[in-house]
Amino acid sequence: MEVFVGMRKYGYEQVVFCYNQIAGLKAIIAIHDTTLGPALGGLRLWPYATEEEAIVDVLRLARGMTYKAAAAGLNLGGGKSVIIGDPKRDKSEALFRAFGRFVQSLGGRYITAEDVGTTEEDMDYVHMETGYVTGASSSSGSGGDPSPATAFGTWQGMKAASKEVFGTENLAGMTVAMQGVGHVGYHLARHLRDEGVKLVVSDINAEATTRAREELGAEVVDVDAIYDVPCDIFSPCALGASINPKTLPRLQCRVIAGCANNQLLTEADGDAVTARQILYAPDYVINAGGLINVADELEGYNRDRAYKKIAGIYGSILRVIAIAKDEGIPTYRAADRLAEERIRRIGEQKRIHLPARIPG
């Protein structure tokens, strides 16, 4: 692919290619926009089939983080990083410490965190080489695994969407079809079970569905059958692009609200969702809880403060819905408007000179 063409089209600032032969490191760091602050985004370890696939993924994810941080009201920009490798085979202390040195070389322009294929323990190794990391284990003074925070925020956003469509934020008695009950999805399913929701779930991992059935009383269906489940809310909590021309006609729901990233295959699918009179809770707004949680570490982590901010996702979803109604646009476009307007307003602020403090 033509990297500079993509950077120009979507306004990326910097792409860094990182290589360390001894550690087996092949990584890419993408910084999209730092208008609001340093770029923060997780480190994904994934067995990409080609280098081009890795580049496309890291660019797409970095841009999404810019919008997620802006819509969440954070003073952060968007970035992301990927390591090409198999998380089941290629992890090592040397790998993550080598990556940490590259993060350190950016001087704070990029702050990393855990993501798909990486864990708190991996971030502890990164932390040995740089302070520009969040989501390390709690023993390092961080907030630990951000998955429960992502799930809590998604639950709050789901309640807001329910209030708009069903006239109540109380989900008790409703049916939620969950695609994915893994790291984040399981925590979301627990919130829903505790509220009295009927859960129908699927996952490519049989251990995850067995856990959901035995511990949460969920009904389990085949991976492909989840799209055909009659439900009030369809909740994509696996990998992206699950809402597409093949799956959308099969959905029997009135709300789409889940914690997966990049749920729409294309923008046209977002238009099609609206045409079917299904309310879509934009992914990067509803799943921002994990980002908010790790961002709180930059102030010295306080769980109560972090979760109070995460609860604000309820209001963010309602604001997106209001913009969509006022402007007659799909909710995914309304979310973009919300994020872009904040970036524009801050970016256009007049810069004033602040003199250095004189000692004495």
**In this structure, is residue 68 part of a structural domain?**
no
Residues 106 and 226 in one domain: no
356 domain residue, yes or no: no
User: CA angle, corner 324, sides to 269 and 58, nearest 5?
Assistant: 50
Query: Parallel, antiparallel, or unpaired: how do β-strands 43-46 and 77-84 relate?
Result: parallel
Kindly state whether residues 224 and 333 are assigned to the same domain: yes
Report whether pLDDT(360) > 70. no
DSSP 228: G
Mean pLDDT of 171-177: 98
**What's the pLDDT at 351?**
73
Q: How many domains does the chain have?
A: 2
User: Is residue 351 in a domain?
Assistant: no
Q: Which pLDDT belongs to residue 116?
A: 85
Question: Which own/partner pairs from 241-248 qualify as long-range (CB within 8 Å, at least 24 positions apart)?
Answer: 241/265, 242/179, 243/269, 243/270, 243/273, 243/280, 244/269, 245/269, 245/272, 248/272, 248/273, 248/276
My answer on whether 40 and 155 are in the same domain is no
Question: Average pLDDT in the 82-94 region?
Answer: 97
Do 329 and 213 belong together in one domain?
yes
Asked if the structure places residue 125 within a domain, the reply is yes
pLDDT for position 359? 62
Task: Assess whether 102 and 156 both reside in one domain.
Answer: no
Q: Which residues pair with 252 in a beta bridge?
A: 230
Stated as kind and residue range, the H or E segment containing 199 is strand 198-202
Q: Is residue 318 part of a domain?
A: yes
- The verdict on 108 and 242 lying in the same domain is no
Indicate whether 257 and 129 sit together in one domain.
no
- Residue 105 and residue 170 in one domain: no
pLDDT higher for 239 or 256? 256
Mean pLDDT across the stretch 183-208?
97
The residue-averaged pLDDT of 3-17 equals 93
**154: nearest Cα among 243, 285, 65:** 285
121 and 206 housed in the same domain: no
- Domain span at residue 334 reads 148-343
Q: pLDDT at position 143, please? A: 76
End-of-domain residue from the set 140, 170, 191: 140
CATH number at residue 169: 3.40.50.720
Q: Is 202 helix (H, G, I), strand (E, B) or coil?
A: strand
Amino acid at residue number 150: T
Q: Does residue 358 register a pLDDT over 70?
A: no
SS3 labels along 96-163: HHHHHHHHHHCCCCEEECECCCCCHHHHHHHHCCCCCECCCCHHHCCCCCCHHHHHHHHHHHHHHHHH
Based on the domain organization, do 239 and 125 belong to the same domain?
no
Is the model's pLDDT at 233 over the cut of 60? Answer: yes
Higher-pLDDT residue of 32 and 262 is 32
Alpha helices in the chain (DSSP H): 3-10, 51-71, 93-105, 120-127, 147-166, 185-195, 206-216, 267-275, 283-286, 289-296, 303-310, 313-327, 331-347
Same domain? 233 vs 326: yes
**Residue 97 belongs to domain with CATH number:** 3.40.50.10860
In a domain, 349, yes or no: no
pLDDT averaged over every residue in the chain: 94
pLDDT at 338 over 80: yes
Residue 14 lies in a domain: yes
For residues 195 and 98, membership in a common domain is answered with: no
Cα four-point dihedral sign 143, 145, 148, 153: positive
Tens of pLDDT, residue by residue over 294-309, are: 999 998 889 999 999 9
Cβ 203 vs Cβ 209: under 8 Å: yes
Out of 296-305, 312-321, 340-349, give the one with best mean pLDDT. 312-321
Find, among 100, 133, 109, 104, the residue nearest to 36 by Cα. Answer: 109
Which of 88, 114, 140 is at the close of a domain?
A: 140
Chain centroid, CA 105 distance in Å: 25
Angle, helices 313-327 vs 331-347, to 10°: value is: 100
Task: Give SS3 for 83.
Answer: strand
User: Residue 67: inside a domain, yes or no?
Assistant: no
Q: The tokens of 217 are what?
A: 């009383």
List active site positions.
80
Amino acid (one-letter) located at 170: N
Say what the pLDDT of residue 136 is: 80
Whether the per-residue pLDDT at 95 is higher than 70: the answer is: yes
